[in-house]
Copies of this chain bind each other. A is one copy, B any other.
Amino acid sequence: MTVYTATTTAPVNIATLKYWGKRDKTLNLPTNSSISVTLSQDDLRTLTSVSTCETFTQDKLFLNGHQESLESERTQMCLKDLRSLRRALEESDPSLPKISEWKLQIVSENNFPTAAGLASSAAGFSALVVAISKLYKLPQSMSEISKIARKGSGSACRSLFGGYVAWEMGDELDGSDSKAVEVAPLEHWSNMKAAILVVSADKKDTPSTSGMQTTVKTSDLFQWRIKEVVPKRFEEMKAAIIAKDFTTFADLTMKDSNSFHATCLDSFPPIFYLNDTSKKIIKLIHSINEFYGETVAAYTFDAGPNAVIYYLEENEDKVFGFLYKLFQNVEGWDSKFTSERLSALASAFNDLKQSVPFPLDEDIQKGVSRIILTQVGPGPQDTEESLVDANGNPKI
Protein backbone atom coordinates (compact mmCIF):
# COMPACT_ATOMS: atom_id res chain seq x y z
CA MET A 1 0.00 0.00 0.00
CA THR A 2 1.41 3.38 -0.95
CA VAL A 3 1.33 5.95 1.82
CA TYR A 4 1.72 9.59 0.85
CA THR A 5 2.84 12.05 3.49
CA ALA A 6 3.70 15.74 3.75
CA THR A 7 4.73 17.99 6.60
CA THR A 8 4.87 21.73 7.10
CA THR A 9 5.31 24.26 9.83
CA ALA A 10 3.16 27.38 10.05
CA PRO A 11 3.52 30.56 12.05
CA VAL A 12 1.37 32.66 14.35
CA ASN A 13 0.57 36.16 13.11
CA ILE A 14 -0.44 39.15 15.20
CA ALA A 15 -2.52 41.81 13.48
CA THR A 16 -1.39 45.40 13.57
CA LEU A 17 -4.56 46.46 11.73
CA LYS A 18 -7.31 44.38 13.27
CA TYR A 19 -9.79 41.96 11.71
CA TRP A 20 -13.06 42.41 13.61
CA GLY A 21 -16.38 41.74 11.95
CA LYS A 22 -17.59 39.31 9.29
CA ARG A 23 -19.77 40.26 6.36
CA ASP A 24 -20.28 36.52 5.67
CA LYS A 25 -20.10 34.17 8.61
CA THR A 26 -19.89 30.91 6.66
CA LEU A 27 -17.15 32.02 4.29
CA ASN A 28 -15.32 34.14 6.92
CA LEU A 29 -15.49 37.24 4.76
CA PRO A 30 -14.41 40.26 6.79
CA THR A 31 -15.92 43.72 7.01
CA ASN A 32 -12.47 45.29 6.62
CA SER A 33 -9.01 44.53 5.32
CA SER A 34 -6.30 43.83 7.90
CA ILE A 35 -2.52 43.70 8.24
CA SER A 36 -0.30 41.50 10.40
CA VAL A 37 3.26 40.66 11.25
CA THR A 38 4.17 36.99 11.02
CA LEU A 39 6.10 35.85 14.10
CA SER A 40 9.15 33.62 14.24
CA GLN A 41 8.51 29.90 14.34
CA ASP A 42 11.45 29.37 16.63
CA ASP A 43 9.14 30.60 19.35
CA LEU A 44 5.61 29.98 18.15
CA ARG A 45 4.65 27.52 15.46
CA THR A 46 2.38 24.65 14.56
CA LEU A 47 3.96 21.56 13.00
CA THR A 48 1.51 19.49 10.95
CA SER A 49 2.02 16.21 9.12
CA VAL A 50 -0.66 14.69 6.90
CA SER A 51 -0.85 11.26 5.39
CA THR A 52 -3.20 9.48 3.06
CA CYS A 53 -3.50 5.84 2.04
CA GLU A 54 -6.12 3.89 0.19
CA THR A 55 -6.71 1.69 3.24
CA PHE A 56 -7.53 4.52 5.66
CA THR A 57 -11.19 4.19 6.64
CA GLN A 58 -11.84 7.64 8.02
CA ASP A 59 -10.39 11.14 8.25
CA LYS A 60 -8.64 11.57 11.59
CA LEU A 61 -7.12 14.51 13.44
CA PHE A 62 -4.56 14.34 16.25
CA LEU A 63 -3.78 17.60 18.10
CA ASN A 64 -0.93 17.71 20.61
CA GLY A 65 -1.16 13.95 21.06
CA HIS A 66 -4.92 13.65 21.40
CA GLN A 67 -7.41 12.56 18.78
CA GLU A 68 -9.91 15.34 18.14
CA SER A 69 -13.13 15.59 16.20
CA LEU A 70 -12.90 16.56 12.55
CA GLU A 71 -16.59 17.25 12.40
CA SER A 72 -16.39 21.01 12.62
CA GLU A 73 -17.97 22.68 9.63
CA ARG A 74 -14.90 24.89 9.21
CA THR A 75 -12.47 21.98 8.95
CA GLN A 76 -14.83 20.15 6.62
CA MET A 77 -14.96 23.16 4.29
CA CYS A 78 -11.16 23.24 4.13
CA LEU A 79 -10.91 19.50 3.38
CA LYS A 80 -13.62 19.74 0.73
CA ASP A 81 -11.94 22.64 -1.07
CA LEU A 82 -8.53 20.96 -1.00
CA ARG A 83 -9.92 17.65 -2.28
CA SER A 84 -11.75 19.45 -5.02
CA LEU A 85 -8.53 21.16 -6.21
CA ARG A 86 -6.76 17.78 -6.13
CA ARG A 87 -9.61 16.17 -8.08
CA ALA A 88 -9.28 18.82 -10.80
CA LEU A 89 -5.56 17.98 -11.03
CA GLU A 90 -6.30 14.25 -11.26
CA GLU A 91 -8.88 14.86 -13.97
CA SER A 92 -6.43 16.89 -16.05
CA ASP A 93 -3.67 14.28 -15.64
CA PRO A 94 -5.01 10.70 -15.45
CA SER A 95 -1.54 9.38 -14.55
CA LEU A 96 -1.86 10.90 -11.08
CA PRO A 97 -2.96 8.68 -8.20
CA LYS A 98 -6.57 9.43 -7.18
CA ILE A 99 -5.66 10.32 -3.63
CA SER A 100 -8.43 12.93 -3.48
CA GLU A 101 -10.73 9.97 -2.79
CA TRP A 102 -8.68 8.60 0.10
CA LYS A 103 -9.08 9.41 3.77
CA LEU A 104 -6.57 11.65 5.54
CA GLN A 105 -4.74 11.50 8.84
CA ILE A 106 -3.72 14.91 10.19
CA VAL A 107 -1.25 15.13 13.07
CA SER A 108 -0.49 18.50 14.56
CA GLU A 109 1.58 19.94 17.42
CA ASN A 110 2.21 23.41 18.80
CA ASN A 111 5.56 24.38 20.31
CA PHE A 112 3.81 26.69 22.78
CA PRO A 113 1.24 25.99 25.48
CA THR A 114 -2.34 26.47 24.31
CA ALA A 115 -3.02 27.72 27.81
CA ALA A 116 -1.03 30.88 27.07
CA GLY A 117 -4.16 32.21 25.43
CA LEU A 118 -2.41 32.90 22.15
CA ALA A 119 -4.69 32.46 19.19
CA SER A 120 -3.36 29.16 17.89
CA SER A 121 -6.15 28.65 15.37
CA ALA A 122 -4.41 30.84 12.79
CA ALA A 123 -1.24 28.73 12.85
CA GLY A 124 -3.30 25.54 13.11
CA PHE A 125 -5.53 26.09 10.08
CA SER A 126 -2.65 27.53 8.09
CA ALA A 127 -0.52 24.41 8.75
CA LEU A 128 -3.41 22.06 7.99
CA VAL A 129 -4.19 23.69 4.66
CA VAL A 130 -0.55 24.04 3.59
CA ALA A 131 0.33 20.45 4.56
CA ILE A 132 -2.56 19.02 2.53
CA SER A 133 -1.71 21.34 -0.41
CA LYS A 134 1.78 19.87 -0.37
CA LEU A 135 0.46 16.33 -0.06
CA TYR A 136 -1.79 16.97 -3.04
CA LYS A 137 0.98 18.82 -4.92
CA LEU A 138 -1.44 21.65 -5.67
CA PRO A 139 -0.07 24.20 -8.15
CA GLN A 140 -2.05 27.13 -6.70
CA SER A 141 -0.27 30.16 -5.30
CA MET A 142 -0.12 30.85 -1.55
CA SER A 143 -2.70 33.64 -2.03
CA GLU A 144 -5.09 31.15 -3.65
CA ILE A 145 -4.51 28.63 -0.86
CA SER A 146 -4.99 31.39 1.71
CA LYS A 147 -8.66 31.59 0.70
CA ILE A 148 -9.10 28.02 1.91
CA ALA A 149 -7.28 28.69 5.19
CA ARG A 150 -9.52 31.77 5.61
CA LYS A 151 -12.60 29.54 5.65
CA GLY A 152 -11.06 27.60 8.54
CA SER A 153 -10.22 30.67 10.61
CA GLY A 154 -10.26 34.16 9.15
CA SER A 155 -6.87 35.28 10.38
CA ALA A 156 -5.28 31.94 9.37
CA CYS A 157 -5.04 33.24 5.80
CA ARG A 158 -2.39 35.73 6.93
CA SER A 159 -0.19 32.92 8.31
CA LEU A 160 0.52 31.69 4.77
CA PHE A 161 3.13 34.39 4.29
CA GLY A 162 6.11 35.50 6.30
CA GLY A 163 7.04 39.08 7.08
CA TYR A 164 4.30 41.68 6.64
CA VAL A 165 0.98 40.46 5.34
CA ALA A 166 -2.27 42.05 4.24
CA TRP A 167 -5.61 40.30 4.11
CA GLU A 168 -7.50 42.07 1.36
CA MET A 169 -11.17 41.92 2.27
CA GLY A 170 -12.31 41.74 -1.37
CA ASP A 171 -15.83 42.47 -2.44
CA GLU A 172 -17.07 39.35 -4.22
CA LEU A 173 -19.96 37.52 -2.58
CA ASP A 174 -18.25 34.15 -3.00
CA GLY A 175 -15.05 35.35 -1.32
CA SER A 176 -12.96 34.70 -4.43
CA ASP A 177 -11.02 37.94 -3.90
CA SER A 178 -10.73 37.80 -0.10
CA LYS A 179 -7.16 36.60 0.32
CA ALA A 180 -3.78 37.20 1.90
CA VAL A 181 -0.99 38.97 0.03
CA GLU A 182 2.54 39.86 1.01
CA VAL A 183 3.08 43.54 1.86
CA ALA A 184 6.81 43.05 2.39
CA PRO A 185 8.92 39.97 3.01
CA LEU A 186 10.69 39.28 6.27
CA GLU A 187 14.02 40.39 4.76
CA HIS A 188 12.65 43.85 3.98
CA TRP A 189 12.32 44.81 7.65
CA SER A 190 13.94 42.00 9.58
CA ASN A 191 14.81 43.93 12.74
CA MET A 192 11.19 43.99 13.94
CA LYS A 193 10.94 42.29 17.32
CA ALA A 194 7.96 41.36 19.45
CA ALA A 195 7.53 40.73 23.16
CA ILE A 196 4.31 39.06 24.22
CA LEU A 197 3.20 39.73 27.78
CA VAL A 198 0.86 36.92 28.74
CA VAL A 199 -1.74 38.53 31.01
CA SER A 200 -3.76 36.41 33.39
CA ALA A 201 -7.46 36.57 32.61
CA ASP A 202 -9.80 36.04 35.54
CA LYS A 203 -12.49 34.55 33.34
CA LYS A 204 -13.16 33.39 29.82
CA ASP A 205 -13.47 36.14 27.25
CA THR A 206 -16.35 36.41 24.82
CA PRO A 207 -15.37 34.12 21.93
CA SER A 208 -14.26 36.24 19.00
CA THR A 209 -16.81 34.84 16.54
CA SER A 210 -19.82 35.75 18.67
CA GLY A 211 -18.15 38.97 19.83
CA MET A 212 -17.71 40.09 16.24
CA GLN A 213 -21.34 39.40 15.45
CA THR A 214 -22.47 41.46 18.45
CA THR A 215 -20.27 44.37 17.36
CA VAL A 216 -21.43 44.26 13.74
CA LYS A 217 -25.08 44.20 14.83
CA THR A 218 -25.04 46.72 17.67
CA SER A 219 -22.14 49.19 17.56
CA ASP A 220 -22.88 52.52 15.91
CA LEU A 221 -19.21 53.48 15.97
CA PHE A 222 -18.21 50.24 14.22
CA GLN A 223 -19.83 51.35 10.96
CA TRP A 224 -17.57 54.38 10.88
CA ARG A 225 -14.53 52.27 11.74
CA ILE A 226 -15.00 49.94 8.78
CA LYS A 227 -16.10 52.58 6.27
CA GLU A 228 -13.72 55.40 7.04
CA VAL A 229 -11.11 54.64 9.66
CA VAL A 230 -9.67 51.30 8.54
CA PRO A 231 -9.53 51.85 4.75
CA LYS A 232 -7.38 54.96 5.30
CA ARG A 233 -5.22 53.25 7.91
CA PHE A 234 -4.75 50.20 5.66
CA GLU A 235 -3.04 52.29 2.98
CA GLU A 236 -1.06 54.28 5.53
CA MET A 237 0.19 51.16 7.29
CA LYS A 238 1.25 49.44 4.08
CA ALA A 239 3.17 52.60 3.14
CA ALA A 240 4.80 52.74 6.60
CA ILE A 241 5.94 49.12 6.27
CA ILE A 242 7.35 49.72 2.81
CA ALA A 243 9.12 52.86 4.06
CA LYS A 244 10.25 51.05 7.26
CA ASP A 245 8.82 54.03 9.15
CA PHE A 246 8.52 52.63 12.68
CA THR A 247 6.99 55.76 14.19
CA THR A 248 4.06 55.75 11.78
CA PHE A 249 3.74 51.97 11.90
CA ALA A 250 3.70 52.04 15.72
CA ASP A 251 1.21 54.89 16.01
CA LEU A 252 -1.18 53.23 13.57
CA THR A 253 -0.79 49.88 15.34
CA MET A 254 -1.61 51.34 18.75
CA LYS A 255 -4.48 53.45 17.41
CA ASP A 256 -5.98 50.51 15.59
CA SER A 257 -5.82 48.28 18.65
CA ASN A 258 -7.58 51.00 20.64
CA SER A 259 -10.15 51.53 17.89
CA PHE A 260 -10.97 47.82 17.76
CA HIS A 261 -11.39 47.62 21.55
CA ALA A 262 -13.46 50.83 21.45
CA THR A 263 -15.96 49.20 19.08
CA CYS A 264 -16.09 46.20 21.44
CA LEU A 265 -16.96 48.57 24.29
CA ASP A 266 -19.54 50.27 22.05
CA SER A 267 -21.21 46.89 21.42
CA PHE A 268 -24.39 46.08 23.30
CA PRO A 269 -23.95 44.41 25.68
CA PRO A 270 -20.38 45.71 25.70
CA ILE A 271 -17.45 43.34 25.24
CA PHE A 272 -14.30 43.80 27.32
CA TYR A 273 -11.00 42.18 26.43
CA LEU A 274 -8.59 44.65 28.06
CA ASN A 275 -8.32 44.34 31.81
CA ASP A 276 -6.66 46.65 34.35
CA THR A 277 -3.26 45.02 33.70
CA SER A 278 -3.66 45.53 29.93
CA LYS A 279 -4.40 49.19 30.58
CA LYS A 280 -1.35 49.57 32.79
CA ILE A 281 0.77 48.13 29.97
CA ILE A 282 -0.77 50.61 27.51
CA LYS A 283 0.04 53.50 29.83
CA LEU A 284 3.55 52.16 30.39
CA ILE A 285 4.31 52.01 26.66
CA HIS A 286 3.08 55.59 26.21
CA SER A 287 5.23 56.66 29.17
CA ILE A 288 8.32 54.92 27.75
CA ASN A 289 7.86 56.56 24.35
CA GLU A 290 7.34 59.92 26.03
CA PHE A 291 10.41 59.41 28.21
CA TYR A 292 12.65 58.84 25.20
CA GLY A 293 10.94 61.52 23.11
CA GLU A 294 10.56 58.98 20.31
CA THR A 295 8.36 56.02 19.55
CA VAL A 296 10.40 52.98 20.51
CA ALA A 297 7.55 50.54 21.19
CA ALA A 298 3.97 49.83 20.11
CA TYR A 299 1.34 47.75 21.86
CA THR A 300 -1.45 45.76 20.31
CA PHE A 301 -4.11 43.53 21.90
CA ASP A 302 -6.23 40.85 20.24
CA ALA A 303 -9.48 39.47 21.66
CA GLY A 304 -7.95 38.98 25.11
CA PRO A 305 -5.81 40.76 27.70
CA ASN A 306 -2.36 39.68 26.37
CA ALA A 307 -0.14 42.51 25.13
CA VAL A 308 2.07 42.19 22.07
CA ILE A 309 4.80 44.84 22.07
CA TYR A 310 6.49 45.54 18.73
CA TYR A 311 9.87 47.31 18.71
CA LEU A 312 12.99 47.51 16.55
CA GLU A 313 16.05 45.52 17.54
CA GLU A 314 18.17 48.66 17.84
CA ASN A 315 15.82 49.96 20.54
CA GLU A 316 15.84 46.77 22.59
CA ASP A 317 17.88 48.24 25.44
CA LYS A 318 15.59 51.25 25.67
CA VAL A 319 12.45 49.15 25.75
CA PHE A 320 13.80 46.39 27.96
CA GLY A 321 15.33 48.77 30.46
CA PHE A 322 11.74 49.36 31.53
CA LEU A 323 10.18 46.00 30.72
CA TYR A 324 12.87 43.97 32.47
CA LYS A 325 12.73 46.26 35.51
CA LEU A 326 8.97 45.79 35.78
CA PHE A 327 8.58 42.18 34.69
CA GLN A 328 11.83 40.57 35.78
CA ASN A 329 10.08 37.95 37.90
CA VAL A 330 7.91 36.54 35.13
CA GLU A 331 8.97 33.46 33.16
CA GLY A 332 10.55 33.64 29.75
CA TRP A 333 13.53 36.03 29.88
CA ASP A 334 16.15 33.28 29.88
CA SER A 335 14.86 31.89 26.56
CA LYS A 336 16.70 34.67 24.74
CA PHE A 337 19.00 36.44 27.16
CA THR A 338 22.03 35.36 29.15
CA SER A 339 22.07 36.27 32.80
CA GLU A 340 24.94 38.71 32.02
CA ARG A 341 22.77 40.54 29.52
CA LEU A 342 19.88 40.65 31.99
CA SER A 343 22.13 42.01 34.74
CA ALA A 344 23.38 44.64 32.32
CA LEU A 345 19.78 45.64 31.51
CA ALA A 346 18.96 45.88 35.21
CA SER A 347 21.98 47.99 36.06
CA ALA A 348 21.58 50.23 33.02
CA PHE A 349 18.07 50.92 34.20
CA ASN A 350 19.19 51.66 37.73
CA ASP A 351 21.46 54.40 36.35
CA LEU A 352 18.50 55.81 34.43
CA LYS A 353 15.96 55.46 37.20
CA GLN A 354 16.57 58.86 38.79
CA SER A 355 15.48 60.63 35.65
CA VAL A 356 12.26 58.66 35.09
CA PRO A 357 9.49 61.19 35.65
CA PHE A 358 6.60 58.73 36.06
CA PRO A 359 5.93 56.22 38.85
CA LEU A 360 6.96 52.63 38.12
CA ASP A 361 4.03 50.52 39.21
CA GLU A 362 5.70 47.28 40.24
CA ASP A 363 2.27 45.72 40.88
CA ILE A 364 1.86 45.44 37.12
CA GLN A 365 3.94 42.22 37.29
CA LYS A 366 1.26 40.47 39.35
CA GLY A 367 -1.09 40.43 36.38
CA VAL A 368 1.47 38.93 33.97
CA SER A 369 2.46 35.26 33.94
CA ARG A 370 5.06 35.07 31.19
CA ILE A 371 6.98 36.94 28.53
CA ILE A 372 7.55 35.45 25.07
CA LEU A 373 10.42 37.07 23.21
CA THR A 374 10.20 36.75 19.47
CA GLN A 375 10.46 38.63 16.19
CA VAL A 376 9.19 38.82 12.63
CA GLY A 377 9.55 35.49 10.87
CA PRO A 378 9.00 33.56 7.65
CA GLY A 379 5.88 31.82 6.37
CA PRO A 380 5.19 28.06 6.39
CA GLN A 381 8.38 26.02 6.08
CA ASP A 382 9.34 22.61 4.78
CA THR A 383 10.93 20.47 7.46
CA GLU A 384 12.72 17.15 7.86
CA GLU A 385 10.62 16.45 10.92
CA SER A 386 7.51 14.38 10.58
CA LEU A 387 4.77 13.54 13.05
CA VAL A 388 3.71 10.41 11.13
CA ASP A 389 5.47 7.10 10.64
CA ALA A 390 5.95 5.12 7.42
CA ASN A 391 2.38 3.81 7.65
CA GLY A 392 1.02 7.32 7.94
CA ASN A 393 0.10 6.88 11.60
CA PRO A 394 0.94 9.33 14.37
CA LYS A 395 4.34 8.69 15.93
CA ILE A 396 4.00 8.16 19.65
Contacts and interface: CB of A to CB of B under 8 A. Distances in A.
Interface in A244-290: 251, 254-255, 258-259, 261-263, 265-270, 272, 275-276, 279, 282-283, 286
A228 interface: yes
Please indicate which of the listed interface residues A221, A255, A272, A282 has the most CB atoms of chain B within 10 Å of its own CB. A221
Q: Number of contact residues on A: which range applies?
A: 20 to 34
Q: How many copies does the complex hold?
A: 2
Contacts of A261: 265
A272 to B, nearest CB: 5
Contact of A258 (B223, B224, B255, B265): B265
A229 B225 CA distance: 13
A268 B255 CA distance: 7
Contacts of A334: none
Interface in A194-243: 220-221, 223-225, 228-229
Contacts of A282: 269-270
Contact of A220 (B229, B251, B266, B272): B229
Contacts of A279: 272
Given A265-B265, A276-B276, A220 B259 contact: yes
Given A220-B229, A224-B221, A266 B262 contact: yes
Nearest to A276: B276
Contacts of A255: 220, 266, 268
A354 to B, nearest CB: 22
Given A220-B228, A225-B221, A275-B276, A258 B266 contact: yes
Contacts of A251: 268
Contacts of A266: 221, 255, 258-259, 262
A300 to B, nearest CB: 13
A11 to B, nearest CB: 29
Contact of A286 (B269, B275, B276): B269
Nearest to A275: B276
Contacts of A225: 220-221
A218 to B, nearest CB: 8
Contacts of A276: 275-276
A266 B279 CA distance: 13
Contacts of A223: 224
Interface in A122-147: none
Contacts of A258: 265-268, 270
Nearest to A223: B224
Nearest to A251: B268
Interface of A: 220-221, 223-225, 228-229, 251, 254-255, 258-259, 261-263, 265-270, 272, 275-276, 279, 282-283, 286
7 contacts: A220-B224, A221-B225, A251-B268, A259-B266, A262-B262, A269-B286, A276-B276
5 tightest A-B CB contacts, nearest first: A224-B224, A262-B266, A262-B262, A269-B286, A262-B265
